[in-house]
Structure 1
Amino acid sequence: MNARPQTSANTPFPRFQLYGEADSFADPGFVHIESIASRSRSHDWEIRPHRHETLDQLLVIRSGRMEVRIEADLHSHAGPAIVHVPANIVHGFRFGDEVDGDVLTFSAELRGALRSSAAGDPGLVGGALVLTPAVDLLARLAPLVEQLRMECSGHEQDRITAAEWLVGLLLLQVGRVAVDAGDDGSAVSGRPQRFRDLVDRHFREHRPIAFYAAALAMTERSLTRLCRARFHCSPMHYVHRRLLLEAQRQLTYGSTSIARIAEDLGFADPSYFTRFYRRMTGKLPSTARRQAL
């Protein structure tokens, strides 16, 4: 049964985990693959505009007609096509009923971890992207997509690690072609993506918004306009959401004391963390932990 999408005054577009399913924070190693037809057929081949707060998506379309909306931009294509949608970018699709392709959904944190763990700066595709690939790219991607499907549906040892590496290889292959084509998606998501990356690296430090604005060579007012346009919230609220996400992960999956979680997240006193968590969720951290057990 499909869950009701979540919206709020600051979120005019629905948020989903996977389209039509309840919104939830993503596990850092979350990877999922399915055919485009398997989900869009039941929605009359239309995926209405929505966003995923902590998930990226990569669509590999071998053939078929489609319309792609990324924020305010609308693209009409006949396959083959490659589409990358970063977390928090509003997107929607309309497919022809003959479409042949797959959609990969994975944690945005996984892409960040792949980038930071590699030597140098790997050319992983990062921004929003709609690309018409050459035949040789599809040939390189095909075995990776099939192997990923096997890892996600099987029970082999270390399948989660294998799936993460396959996602990295796919992003690297697409990133190479995007750079060669002179299109890294920066027109759609350059500064928003850089802001997200900065927040991922520094959210525990409780930096002021001036820090992020200076790192992006922007004024605080310009950064605020950008965040409200892309993320439908203020820059500080975005940082607070990232703090909350990490708190939820540790309360749900870990056994560390609430005081230690507060310390890890940069709060000077556990009581400050408790007030922050209650303000963001309406619950006490201790209540959230009990519910996760």
Structure 2
Amino acid sequence: MNVIPSFTLYADGKTNVAPQFVHIETIPLRSKKNDWIIRPHRHPELFQMLLLTRGRAEMRLEGDDFQLDAPALTAIAPNAVHGYAFQTDVEGFVLSVSDAYLRELLGATGDQEATDILAASCVLSLADLKDAVDEMRAACQRIAVESQGRRVGRQARLGADLMLVFGLLAELGPDGHGGKVGESSADTVLFDRFRMLVENRYRDQLSIRDYASELATSERTLRRTVKARSGQTPLEILRQRIILEAQRDLLYSAMSVSEIAYGLGFQDQAYFSRFFAAATGQSPSRFRENHKSGWSGTVAD
């Protein structure tokens, strides 16, 4: 049975991520030895950013394809399935950071918009944003130096540059991820805890009442908070997460529809198929047929 590969760093296997894990490398360092192709995979505990400063690449992010023309930036949230095919003349950096560490750093600033950007992946063109590109490149270069050194104050300097990079990402990223003016800190905490609980338990077929109980709150409070923070109901967020994982399995694994349904907590394949079709407009089999072969993993020079 094929499953979507999970790595700490691509092709290095899955190991425990250190509490303050930070890794940076140039794009060619890992891509060249893999024939410039990074096959679809995911990083369960890492947030990853790729800064393309020269050349072109093709990217697959979840089920969508993108062409990257330098300068460009990709931000990959934990567990997002992604892959690249690079030209051989590319330059840039790949920065991988423990999601928990980033949240700790950004949370300490009280900047909710910067923290919220970690919840979603995005692809950004940096054309006509020379100053931002130069700032990010310089910060990545400093992170590379500090990552190899042992100077006193190293961790503080790394943290400062990480906050610079992700502050810029929050500024440049798509609208709609930031918190709302006047939003209480208690609501923010509850919403973040709900999202984390969904990530950990979406396969368990819990009801929203179960989620509220796990979070030691009422269903009414949970619904009000989630709606205010996201514009969606808790059930909509939960269903979207289940559908996203089903789509990943259909696109990137050889599991049968019944195996995928069972892995997502459905005891009845027919019910899973109806659930999937109601959300996507296609049966699981038709979705796989229409999308699986869509990414060639090649890029023209």
| Range into which the TM-score falls when normalised by the shorter chain | 0.5 to 0.7
Q: Partners of 1:119 and 1:195 in 2: how far apart?
A: 16
Paired letter, 1:226: Q
1:226 partnered with 2:240: yes
1:169 paired residue number: 164
| 1:196 Cα deviation after fit | 6.5
Equivalent residue of 2:114, what SS? coil
1:129 paired residue number: 122
Q: Partners of 2:131 and 2:211 in 1: how far apart?
A: 44
- The one of 24, 28, 31 aligned to 1:37: 28
Paired letter, 1:135: K
**Alignment TM-score, normalising by the size of structure 1:** 0.64
Check conservation: 2:226, 2:234, Cα contact below 8 A: no
Range moving further from structure 2, 195-204 or 53-62 = 195-204
- The one of 82, 86, 103 aligned to 2:73: 82
The alpha-carbon distance between structure 1 residues 171 and 220, as it changes in their structure 2 partners (threshold 3 A), is closer
| 1:216 Cα deviation after fit | 3.4
Equivalent residue of 1:155, what SS? coil
2:38 paired residue number: 47
Paired letter, 1:110: Y
| 1:223 Cα deviation after fit | 4.3
Check conservation: 2:113, 2:177, Cα contact below 8 A: no
The alpha-carbon distance between structure 1 residues 197 and 131, as it changes in their structure 2 partners (threshold 3 A), is farther
Written as runs of structure 1 = structure 2, the 5 A alignment for 1:203-242 is 208-210=210-212, 214=223, 215-217=225-227, 222-231=236-245
| 1:158 Cα deviation after fit | 3.1
Q: Partners of 2:91 and 2:193 in 1: how far apart?
A: 33
| 1:226 Cα deviation after fit | 2.4
What value does the CA root-mean-square deviation take over the aligned residues? Answer: 3.2
Paired letter, 1:97: T
Equivalent residue of 1:173, what SS? helix
The alpha-carbon distance between structure 1 residues 68 and 184, as it changes in their structure 2 partners (threshold 3 A), is farther
1:27 paired residue number: 18
Moved segments of 4+, more than 6 Å: 201-204
Check conservation: 2:69, 2:125, Cα contact below 8 A: no
- The one of 190, 194, 198 aligned to 2:194: 198
Check conservation: 1:89, 1:230, Cα contact below 8 A: no
Check conservation: 1:25, 1:53, Cα contact below 8 A: no
Range moving further from structure 2, 222-231 or 16-25 = 222-231
Q: How many residues align?
A: 215
Range moving further from structure 2, 157-166 or 106-115 = 157-166
For residues 35-74 of structure 1, the C-alpha deviation after alignment (integer angstroms, 9 at most, x for no partner) is: 0100010111010000000001011110111011110111
Written as runs of structure 1 = structure 2, the 5 A alignment for 1:32-181 is 32-124=23-115, 125-126=117-118, 127-133=120-126, 134-178=129-173
Equivalent residue of 1:15, what SS? coil
| 1:117 Cα deviation after fit | 0.8
Q: Partners of 2:139 and 2:63 in 1: how far apart?
A: 31
Equivalent residue of 2:5, what SS? strand
